[in-house]
Amino acid sequence: MSGRLFAGLLIGFIGVVVLAAPDMEVSNSRFTGSVYILGGAVGTAIGNVLLKYQAGSDDIYWSMGIQLVIGSVFLGFASVILGEGMDINWTWSFATAALMLSIPATALMVVLWYALLASAPLNSLNSFTFLTPAIGVVIGLLWFGETFTVVEITGISITIIGLIIVMKAPGEGGRVREVRPGID
């Protein structure tokens, strides 16, 4: 990992921290959600490294399925430990949301991500996960009438600067290279 790539990743991460900072008070109920997001980010990073080893193999659906099963088991245990209820109000709206979240927004995205891992450097791809909170803020603006704060604009800007640095890093950025299993 080059110094420029490391700097870009660090700057992108700082942008995410700036976005999350206002909600990081321990007394704030959003703090628990932020901790879950941090845990999810760590899990995603570990999962991406493991998936990179599998990238290019013929068994993409097995890898995707294992990832989703492990995630659902963890979430199931967490909900029981935290005393979440198991009652579900099966409405058309709920069923549609569950279907859209499970197939195109989760399973299909994992398959597409897996395909990208087979052909691009992991460092470059992982840097784009920094955009997740920024995209969430933009969705809140567009669909829910939320407004940007100066902190959010600053965090998004810092994140984008980090991504630009990563993509401009010599030999490590946005260039796609062929990955041959067993050789690379």
Question: Are 107 and 149 in a shared domain?
Answer: no
Give me the helix-helix angle, 131-144 and 3-20, nearest 10°: 40
Report the b/e string of 120-156 with b at 16+ CB within 10 A: bbbbbbbbbbbbebbeebeeeeeeeeeeeeeebeebb
Question: Are 125 and 96 in a shared domain?
Answer: no
Question: Are 70 and 38 in a shared domain?
Answer: no
**From CA 144, how far away is CA 94, in angstroms rounded?**
18
Question: Are 104 and 138 in a shared domain?
Answer: no
Question: Are 49 and 130 in a shared domain?
Answer: yes
Question: Are 42 and 63 in a shared domain?
Answer: no
Average pLDDT over residues 43-58: 70
Higher pLDDT, 32 or 96: 96
The predicted pLDDT at position 87 comes to 78
Helical spans, DSSP H, in the chain: 3-20, 30-54, 60-81, 92-102, 109-117, 122-127, 131-144, 150-168
Question: Are 22 and 113 in a shared domain?
Answer: no
pLDDT band at 175 (very low <50, low <70, confident <90, very high): very low
Confidence (pTM)? 0.57
Higher pLDDT, 123 or 77: 77
Distances 61 to 11, 14, 36, 107, 168 between C-alpha atoms, Å:
34, 34, 26, 9, 33
The predicted pLDDT at position 113 comes to 78
Q: Tell me which residue range forms the domain holding 127.
A: 1-56+121-184
Domain count, the chain: 2
**From CA 175, how far away is CA 172, in angstroms rounded?**
7
Domain final residue, candidates 117, 143, 168: 117
Q: How far is C-alpha 47 from the chain's CA centre? A: 11
pLDDT band at 171 (very low <50, low <70, confident <90, very high): low
The predicted pLDDT at position 170 comes to 66
- DSSP summary character for residue 120: S
Average pLDDT over residues 119-138: 78
Domain final residue, candidates 73, 102, 117: 117
Q: Give the list of residues 6+ apart from residue 165 with CB closer than 8 angstroms, or none.
A: 4, 5, 7, 8, 11
Question: Are 49 and 125 in a shared domain?
Answer: yes
Domain final residue, candidates 101, 117, 133: 117
The predicted pLDDT at position 27 comes to 63
**From CA 31, how far away is CA 36, in angstroms rounded?**
9
Question: Are 52 and 125 in a shared domain?
Answer: yes
The predicted pLDDT at position 174 comes to 46
pLDDT band at 96 (very low <50, low <70, confident <90, very high): very high
Question: Are 167 and 82 in a shared domain?
Answer: no
**Which range, 55-59, 97-101, 166-170, 179-183, has the best average confidence (pLDDT)?**
97-101
Question: Are 181 and 126 in a shared domain?
Answer: yes
The predicted pLDDT at position 92 comes to 93
Q: Above 80 in pLDDT, residue 72?
A: yes
The predicted pLDDT at position 57 comes to 65
Q: Above 90 in pLDDT, residue 156?
A: no
Question: Are 49 and 127 in a shared domain?
Answer: yes
